[in-house]
């Protein structure tokens, strides 16, 4: 079969690479409006069902750690073929099983293998193009990755309201099948062979140097705790808003998209707004927004016995505005003093953030059903943890450079 020529067919190549990139992100957000229905279907509790969200994010972060070496060793197309085939098998298990535990395990597998494309799509864009065209393709892919998390919960809300929870997984399966077929249209980029082999000892030494770096850990844990404060809405929001307060799945999808839009707005506009501030000052502004958002959600819940959807969502929107500033600042400040092991540090940041988000959001299952109060309380705890980590932190000029 003849392959598309990337130089002659950039629009078609862009469509295919975008499909590869969004399979993972769509898989997390499209099914969140269906969590109460999934809980009822399996006859389980919300505390157990929400692990299908937390472990998915953990699998996503694990995927980012392993996909790079795999793609370099096996090639881009073979890595994606393997990933989407296993993703498709995991999706079939979610639809066929009657065990919530097997369902959760399959969701984890979906994350690990389905999210390969999020990284590999960008690798392939760099393989096919150079200079301005490379930048243009990466920008288009990045733009679609911002739109997908907003569109997916809206689509999932309507699928749940007018069909059932299984239809979100039918969409995931269809995306995987199309992605597998699309791989045949693209050429494989030949990797340059290298004789350099990284020793096991050097890899372990790199991890040890990063994980014993106090400054790195403080900012990484701070970012992870702050992310967990927002992830509470992802993992438990549907149980409260749909299950307890009676909002329709379609409306919940729009509320979910609104929260994501707040984050994206802040992340895109933040650097301009804080251009004249130091990183310490910018972090303080971002942290203040996190605290204000958490307090708005909590106070509105206290005043209405946890029944105020408007107040809670307004607080979360403010919180997400702060998070869009806070996350990249902490990620940058965590590594700005480092001279070595930058790749290891960058990969571990996302993994640690997802791990903390999974663990902290699990607290929802231990709290009584109290409407939005339960969610707000955990968000406030997360902000407190984040603030504690950043107490007495300094700018990089005052930090001691890392020695490995």
pLDDT tens digits, residue range 198-247? 555 666 787 788 888 888 899 999 988 998 888 888 888 888 889 888 89
Q: Among 41, 38, 264, which residue's Cα sits nearest to residue 156?
A: 38
Boundaries of CATH 1.20.1250.20 in the chain?
1-188, 198-393
Residue 402 has pLDDT above 50, yes or no: no
Residue 86 has pLDDT above 90, yes or no: yes
The more confidently predicted of residues 174 and 403 is 174
User: Coil, helix or strand for 190?
Assistant: coil
Q: Is 162 helix (H, G, I), strand (E, B) or coil?
A: helix
267 is written with which tokens? 């992340």
pLDDT at 78 over 50: yes
In sequence order, which ranges of 30-130 are alpha helices (DSSP H)?
Answer: 35-42, 46-49, 51-74, 76-96, 100-114, 116-128
d(CA 316, CA 302): 15
**What mean pLDDT do residues 266-289 have?**
82
Question: Lowest mean pLDDT: which of 80-89, 101-110, 242-251?
Answer: 242-251
**What pLDDT, on a 0 to 100 scale, did the predictor assign at position 197?**
47
pLDDT of 21 higher than 80: yes
Per-residue pLDDT averaged across 94-107, rounded? Answer: 96
Asked if 297 and 315 count as a contact pair (C-beta separation under 8 A), the reply is yes
What's the pLDDT score for residue 398?
A: 45
**pLDDT value of residue 93:** 97
Residue 330 in this model has a pLDDT that exceeds 90: no
By CB atoms closer than 10 A (0-12, 13-18, 19+), residue 78 is: middle
Percent of the chain whose pLDDT exceeds 90: 36
Q: Which residue has the higher pLDDT, 266 or 161?
A: 161
Query: Which residue has tokens 């994010």?
Result: 57
**CA dihedral sign, ordered 273, 277, 278, 281:** negative
* pLDDT of the residue at 133: 81
Instruction: Judge whether residue 196 has pLDDT over 70.
Output: no
Alpha carbon 27 to its chain centroid, in Å, reads 11
Contacts of 135 (CB under 8 A, 6+ apart): none
Specify the CATH class of 1-188 in words.
mainly alpha
Res. 250: pLDDT tops 50: yes
The tokens describing 224, both together, are 């992870």
Model pLDDT, residue 200? 59
Helices (H), 129-199: 131-162, 166-182
pLDDT at residue 279, as a whole number:
81
| Sign of the dihedral defined by the CA atoms of residues 125, 126, 131, 135, in that order | positive
101-115, 237-251, 329-343: least confident range: 329-343
Asked if the model's pLDDT at residue 1 lies above 70, the reply is: no
Q: What is the pLDDT of residue 399?
A: 45
Q: Rounded distance, CA 290 to CA 228, Å?
A: 12
Q: What is the pLDDT of residue 362?
A: 74
pTM of the model: 0.78
The more confident residue out of 181 and 358 is 181
Over its C-alpha atoms, the chain yields an Rg (Å, rounded) of 21
Residue 90 pLDDT more than 90? yes
Q: Which fold has domain 198-393?
A: Growth Hormone; Chain: A; (1.20.1250)
Q: What is the pLDDT of residue 176?
A: 95
């Amino acid at each position: 079969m003849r392959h598309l020529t990337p130089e002659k067919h950039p629009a078609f190549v862009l469509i295919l690479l975008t499909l590869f990139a969004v399979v993972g992100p769509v898989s997390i957000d499209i099914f969140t409006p269906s969590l109460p229905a999934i809980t009822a279907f399996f006859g389980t509790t919300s505390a157990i069902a929400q692990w299908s969200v937390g472990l998915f994010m953990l699998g996503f972060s694990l995927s980012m750690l392993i996909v790079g070496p795999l793609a370099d060793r096996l090639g881009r197309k073979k890595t994606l073929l393997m990933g989407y085939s296993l993703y498709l098998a995991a999706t079939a298990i979610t639809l066929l099983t009657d065990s919530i535990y097997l369902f959760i395990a399959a969701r984890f597998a979906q994350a690990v293998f389905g999210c390969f494309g999020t990284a590999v799509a960008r690798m392939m864009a760099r393989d096919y193009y150079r200079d301005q065209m490379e930048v243009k393709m990466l920008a288009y892919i990045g733009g679609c990755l911002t739109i997908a998390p907003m569109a997916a919960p809206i689509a999932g809300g309507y699928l749940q309201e007018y069909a059932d929870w299984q239809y979100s997984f039918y969409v995931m399966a269809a995306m995987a099948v199309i992605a597998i077929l699309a791989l045949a249209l693209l050429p494989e980029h030949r990797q340059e062979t290298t004789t350099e082999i990284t020793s096991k000892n050097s890899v372990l030494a790199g991890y040890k140097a990063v994980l014993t770096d106090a400054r790195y850990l403080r900012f990484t844990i701070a970012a992870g705790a702050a992310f967990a404060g927002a992830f509470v809405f992802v993992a438990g929001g549907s149980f409260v808003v749909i299950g307890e307060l009676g909002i329709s799945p379609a409306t919940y999808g729009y509320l979910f998209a609104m929260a994501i839009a707040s984050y994206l707005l802040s992340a895109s506009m933040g650097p301009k707004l804080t251009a004249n501030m130091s990183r310490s000052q910018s972090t303080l502004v971002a942290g203040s927004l996190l605290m204000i958002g958490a307090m708005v959600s909590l106070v509105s819940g206290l005043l209405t016995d946890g029944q105020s959807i408007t107040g809670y969502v307004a607080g979360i929107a403010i919180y997400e505005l702060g998070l869009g500033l806070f996350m990249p600042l902490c990620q940058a400040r965590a590594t700005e003093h480092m001279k070595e092991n930058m790749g290891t540090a960058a990969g571990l940041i996302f993994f640690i953030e997802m791990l903390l988000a999974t663990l902290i959001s699990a607290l929802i299952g231990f709290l009584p059903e109290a409407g939005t109060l339960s969610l707000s309380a955990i968000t406030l705890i997360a902000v407190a943890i984040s603030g504690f980590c950043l107490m007495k932190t300094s700018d990089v000029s005052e930090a001691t450079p890392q020695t490995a």
